[in-house]
Amino acid sequence: MATTTVQFRMDNDLKQQLERIFQEMGLNMTTAMNLFAHAVVNQGRIPFDITAPKSQLENDLDDVRAGRHLSRAYTDRPSSQK
């Protein structure tokens, strides 16, 4: 099988982080990128979901809907006057 060289630009810090993680997995950058390419071709899609991070407002709304992190209601009257 013939091979070719592929070049692309990447933030240097990101590259170093990737290389460190791949090394822990026993992979080098070339092998990892080939695994990714094969997964894309085999699945016909990017093999993971790509989503934008939620805003703080969206996170807060999720918490309210789920009943998380809520405090009791406050009034301006002391509880003895209710």
Per-residue pLDDT of 10-54, as tens digits, reads 999 999 999 999 999 999 999 999 999 999 999 999 999 888 888
**Among candidate residues 13, 66, 3, 10, the one with its CA nearest the CA of residue 37:** 3
* Predicted local distance difference test score (pLDDT) of residue 35: 97
Q: Answer whether 38's CB lies under 8 Å from 31's CB.
A: no
DSSP type of residue 76 = S
* Predicted local distance difference test score (pLDDT) of residue 82: 55
pLDDT grade for 59, boundaries at 50, 70 and 90: confident
* Predicted local distance difference test score (pLDDT) of residue 16: 97
Whether this prediction's pTM lies above 0.85 is answered by no
Q: Rounded to a whole number, what is the distance in angstroms from the first to the last CA of the chain?
A: 82
Please say if the pLDDT value at position 81 is more than 80: no
**Among candidate residues 44, 42, 48, 36, the one with its CA nearest the CA of residue 8:** 36
